[in-house]
Structure 1
Amino acid sequence: MSNELLSPVEMAEADRLAIATGPFNGIGLMRRAGAAVAAVVLARYPAATPVHVLCGPGNNGGDGYVVARLLAEAGVDVAIWVSGKPRAGSDAAIAAAECPVAPRPLTAFAPDFGSIVVDALYGAGLSKSLPVDATNAIDFARSLLLPVVAIDLPSGVSGDTGAVLGEEAFRADITVTFARKKPGHLLLPGRELCGEIVLADIGIPDSVVNDLIPRTFENKPALWVGNLPVPATDAHKYKRGHAGVFSGGPSTTGAARLSALAAARAGAGAVTVLSPADAMQINAAHLTAIMLRRSDTVADLNNFIGERRPSAFVLGPGFGVGERTRDLALAILRAGRQGAASGIGGLVLDADGITSFRDEPASLFEATREPHAPALVMTPHEGEFARLFSDIAADKSLSKLAKARAAAQRANAVVVYKGADTVIVAPNGLAAINGNGAPWLATAGSGDVLAGIIAGLLAQGMAVFAAAAAAVWIHAEAGRRFGPGLIAEDLPLAMVPVLRELVEAKQADAI
């Protein structure tokens, strides 16, 4: 699949393997990369003149020399501004020698209003702050509001983390990258600084990428749609799975009902709200298709498990923080001691469920490793993540992806590290970075809906990592399509056309 994400180190290895196997050598790949960028510039800015190509000393700069040569051959007025010379004998040096445009030092960069900048200074492999001549060029381009086309990644952005390395980075209108995207294209702030991302094929075969055995992917349906549950013709409601959602007290019942409705919309055949006695009347007044059951104690929970064989749970939304929350979570995870007969596929721990373990995380992590324990999915936002994984959160050297990987391994759980760049990671390090999030999802109750979608998919037997990744994408896509005015109550119904398209796509592939 083409949604693999390659780190800068993996991309360098892909280049090496592609060159070793042919048919293109290093300069051949560079010429194809430059041609892809030149084609974008000519297509998007046909009247632009002049075009200022800023070249660094490495391969990114080599791509820039090819761009400048091709634009000049097309009759475009081109200027080249360089920061350092290519190493003698390198592919970049060959590209520079082939370019008829005389280079000028970047320190003298002086664009005019209406011109275009091609950023070929430093690509995804940058590991330190930009030099002064580059930061001055960024300031100059920004002050004139010049359109920027970045090669690979905007200079100043880390391909590994998406972070700005230092004080400055280009903000591109278009970023042209090659073969596969990098994590920095999707992780913030890199995602915002890239603008539109154009992925160009320069001749690196899929077999080379596959040989690298990538462990990080862009979260798109191709990653999980084959695992999406679709009811069989003879399905009845319990064949489609039963999800239990714990409700908080009388003043905090709404969050659980949002989760429950989302689980039902996601396809769970039966959903039960497990309500404390003092909130039964309030929940009963608001529920129709969702079932209701009194549950105050671990004994009540165990009776429910024994009688109704639920296949997934949500615990945390509006529930309250404390010992009772911990006891219920641990009881679900330990229900696996009954073996496969328990039938519980997973527990989604969100909000108060996560915070309840901030002082006793070891008890949770130990429970996930007990024989036959149901899968655990945790859905923390930034603050909740820091409460449960304080040392990991405080490590400034780690990207969001690396933090999520460390947390998932420690907890033996799938971690959905929420945000505009949500990261989903399995305990074995398999990871997906979401790219279709929308600002409309930043609304109260949105996370409760996400927890319910995950539980609804788990209840139907979807594999845990796939269920978490699919839920994140479906949730984001529903919010993106709905747009302005979205509130959490809108999301379950907004999921319907998204789910319909996914099911139709899966069924079409099966024909």
Structure 2
Amino acid sequence: MTELLTAAQMRAIEQAAIESGEVTGLELMERAGQGVVEAIFEEWPELAEERGAGPSHSPEYLDKDEKPRRAVVLCGPGNNGGDGFVVARLLKERGWAVEVFLYGDPDKLPPDAKTNYERWRESDAVRPLCEEVIDAGGDADLAVDAVFGTGLTRPFLDQGEIQNELNLWQAASRRGAAPRVVAVDMPSGACADSGLYLGYAGENPFDSVVMANFTVSFHRAKLGQFLSDGAVACGKIVVKDIGLADRDSPAVPGKVVTLAAPSGGGKAAGHKYSHGHALILSGGHGKTGAARLAARGALRIGAGLVTVGSPRSAMFENAANLTAIMLRQIDGAHGLVELMEDERLSAICLGPGMGRGADTQAMVFAALKEKRPTVLDADALTRFEMKPEVLFEVLHEDCVITPHGGEFARLFPDLAEKLNAPATTGPADSKVDATREAAIRAGCVVLFKGPDTVIAAPDGRCSVNSAHYERSAPWLATAGSGDVLAGFITGLMARGFSPMQAAETAAYVHVECALEFGPGLIAEDLPEQIPAVFRKLGL
């Protein structure tokens, strides 16, 4: 289980270690700087090759055409800036030519950061961070963003201050160079708790903010590195140990958030009924594909049996396209109640392709009355957009609802409005906050879909399933992929997985299936990747 920390949790962990006497703030800062330098050379081994004047290389040693590597280090007014001064010093000790820029007044630096500022000043200058930094950094081998890390609580890029001039990634790209930008803790301007850029209200924040090839985090990854804009701007996440391994986050303020991971998956011995029977309800004639996608997902992920419940008008259509999946005619809520008399039906999925009519609402009520594990998706959610409280009154703890952004806004308009409002101060409200509140309000597990899928239970448990960095899967933006995900969850719940466990595992496997197939993916391909994915995961 990989925990994700808020800025407050990380501060509490560091403070507890310092107050215990086991480490000083200055030692933590030195370890952080060393971790950043290690990460740089691990990511780009060619930069680790010493060249230029240094302790073992005099200036006369250099070939005429060989120049020392150049780095631009941007430091801020807090301890993140102190980490930057350590990085600058360590690079210079390896023979690099390093230029350091400071945003803010050096006399106002915190004590540990001020110490490292003075250490750097003993050997070289510190220039004010302003627009000329682009000219300095355009041909550098490396840029290190240590301006603001996890502690940012106010907008950084005020109008007319630095704005577009700070994005060294874009500056290098414009010159035809390969940008190497490393962020310390967070790309400057992004909230460590939400991933949102504070004070930015434009359509594309990446036009005017720092973006990194990778971001170095310390002790644990941070929430904002996997949410919203931060999940894009951070690039790859590298976590470095700074000697706080014995400090567990449950002991600090706030509830734990984890990265979603698979739980179980493969089948043990038994017969088909010992692995559950999933029921997927179908829409009418011409609207049956979504249910079949969900049914295929449920079967492939391990449900022992899967039945599609179809209205009379779609029976032939479904029958012509189903083989291992069974088919039963269900006409209306009364027919569903009769079918649910079979106690072996262990989970049910409603919504994909069902339409938004009154009959869908009646079917949802009938299913929820049975108190079986239930997944509600798509039309089964949108049907209640006018009065979502009517749905919340009948949902129970064995349900999972799976809204995308539009459906979430219809069910929880106030939460969506708050989430989508421009973030002006930090820590900003995050998708984690919104999903947790939604789960409490709904009384069941909520899976809020997106590249930064967030899954929350009413008791506060929460995880993030990130499809970023090495797990980026843009091919999932295809018709029907959400229907397959609903089927995955239903199949796992049919097998006896708890709602939270099923949602986390399904979301993780969903992304892994997309990565297994790659570009050109369509929804029908997703279930067919499960055997290969399970083998890779050892399930």
Instruction: State the TM-score, normalized to the length of structure 1.
Output: 0.91
Pair 1:475 & 2:510 matched: yes
Question: Which of 187, 192, 215 is the matching residue for 1:154?
Answer: 187
Cα distance between partner residues in 1 of 2:151 and 2:345: 48
Q: Secondary structure at the match of 1:473?
A: helix
Cα distance between partner residues in 1 of 2:292 and 2:440: 31
Cα distance between partner residues in 1 of 2:98 and 2:340: 71
Aligned-residue offset at 1:147: 2.2
Cα distance between partner residues in 1 of 2:248 and 2:211: 31
Change beyond 3 A, Cα 1:63–1:310: same
Aligned-residue offset at 1:434: 1.2
Determine the structure 2 residue equivalent to 1:300. Answer: 335
Task: Tell whether the 8 Å contact from 1:260 to 1:272 is kept in structure 2 after alignment.
Answer: yes
Question: Which of 210, 219, 224 is the matching residue for 1:184?
Answer: 224
Determine the structure 2 residue equivalent to 1:365. Answer: 392
Determine the structure 2 residue equivalent to 1:98. Answer: 119
Cα distance between partner residues in 2 of 1:384 and 1:46: 49
Pair 1:63 & 2:90 matched: no
Aligned-residue offset at 1:400: 1.8
Change beyond 3 A, Cα 1:112–1:359: closer
Equivalences for residues 78-227 of structure 1 within 5 A = 78-84=98-104, 85=106, 87=108, 90-99=111-120, 100-107=123-130, 108-109=132-133, 110-115=135-140, 116-131=142-157, 134-135=162-163, 137-139=165-167, 142-145=170-173, 146-167=179-200, 168-212=208-252, 214-221=255-262, 225=263
Task: Tell whether the 8 Å contact from 1:150 to 1:176 is kept in structure 2 after alignment.
Answer: yes
Change beyond 3 A, Cα 1:50–1:352: same
Q: Deviations over 1:230-264 (max 9, x none)?
A: 4332x111111011000000101111011001001
Cα distance between partner residues in 1 of 2:320 and 2:92: 72
Aligned-residue offset at 1:301: 1.1
Aligned-residue offset at 1:310: 0.9
Cα distance between partner residues in 2 of 1:256 and 1:131: 48
Task: Tell whether the 8 Å contact from 1:86 to 1:92 is kept in structure 2 after alignment.
Answer: no
Q: Which amino acid aligns with 2:88?
A: A
Task: Tell whether the 8 Å contact from 1:315 to 1:350 is kept in structure 2 after alignment.
Answer: yes
Cα distance between partner residues in 2 of 1:450 and 1:89: 48
Determine the structure 2 residue equivalent to 1:260. Answer: 295
Cα distance between partner residues in 2 of 1:326 and 1:37: 55
Task: Tell whether the 8 Å contact from 1:325 to 1:353 is kept in structure 2 after alignment.
Answer: yes
Change beyond 3 A, Cα 1:112–1:499: closer
Aligned length: 485
Task: Tell whether the 8 Å contact from 2:290 to 2:352 is kept in structure 1 after alignment.
Answer: yes
Task: Tell whether the 8 Å contact from 1:357 to 1:364 is kept in structure 2 after alignment.
Answer: yes
Determine the structure 2 residue equivalent to 1:315. Answer: 350
Aligned-residue offset at 1:308: 4.8
Determine the structure 2 residue equivalent to 1:410. Answer: 441
Moved more, 51-60 or 324-333: 324-333
Determine the structure 1 residue equivalent to 2:55. Answer: none
Task: Tell whether the 8 Å contact from 2:70 to 2:97 is kept in structure 1 after alignment.
Answer: yes
Q: Secondary structure at the match of 1:272?
A: strand
Pair 1:421 & 2:420 matched: no
Q: Deviations over 1:297-319 (max 9, x none)?
A: 22211111112531111100001
Q: Which amino acid aligns with 1:78?
A: V
Moved more, 379-388 or 20-29: 20-29
Cα distance between partner residues in 1 of 2:518 and 2:292: 23
Cα distance between partner residues in 2 of 1:298 and 1:86: 72
Task: Tell whether the 8 Å contact from 1:55 to 1:81 is kept in structure 2 after alignment.
Answer: yes
Q: Which amino acid aligns with 1:352?
A: D
Cα distance between partner residues in 2 of 1:323 and 1:244: 20
Cα distance between partner residues in 1 of 2:531 and 2:483: 17
Aligned-residue offset at 1:360: 2.4
Q: Which amino acid aligns with 1:324?
A: D
Q: Secondary structure at the match of 1:68?
A: helix
Task: Tell whether the 8 Å contact from 1:249 to 1:276 is kept in structure 2 after alignment.
Answer: yes
Task: Tell whether the 8 Å contact from 2:440 to 2:459 is kept in structure 1 after alignment.
Answer: yes
Task: Tell whether the 8 Å contact from 1:244 to 1:312 is kept in structure 2 after alignment.
Answer: yes
